[in-house]
Amino acid sequence: MYRRNDIKLAERILQLDKLRDELYEELMKAMGSQANELLRRLQNY
């Protein structure tokens, strides 16, 4: 049986993943292919 906190954490991860996808799509619409370059640069900063 899963603990309540484990389920809440898993649900939160799924929510964040969905939000990440939505934000990524918005960034891609705004910047096109440059979005990937920006993300890589910021991630490696």
Q: Which residues are within 8 A (CB) of 28 and not within 5 positions of it... i.e. 6 or more apart?
A: 35
Q: Could you tell me if residue 3 is inside a domain?
A: no
Q: Could you tell me if residue 35 is inside a domain?
A: yes
Q: Could you tell me if residue 42 is inside a domain?
A: yes
* pLDDT given for residue 44 in this prediction: 96
Containing structural domain, residue 29: 21-45
Q: Could you tell me if residue 27 is inside a domain?
A: yes
Q: Is 3 left (phi over 0), alpha (psi -120 to 50) or beta?
A: beta
Are 31 and 38 within 8 A, CB to CB? yes
Q: Could you tell me if residue 10 is inside a domain?
A: no
* pLDDT given for residue 13 in this prediction: 99
- Residue 11's alpha-carbon distances to 3, 15, 19, in angstroms, are 13, 6, 12
Domains of the chain: total? 1
pTM over 0.95: no
Q: Could you tell me if residue 6 is inside a domain?
A: no
Overall average pLDDT of the 6-21 stretch: 99
Q: Could you tell me if residue 33 is inside a domain?
A: yes
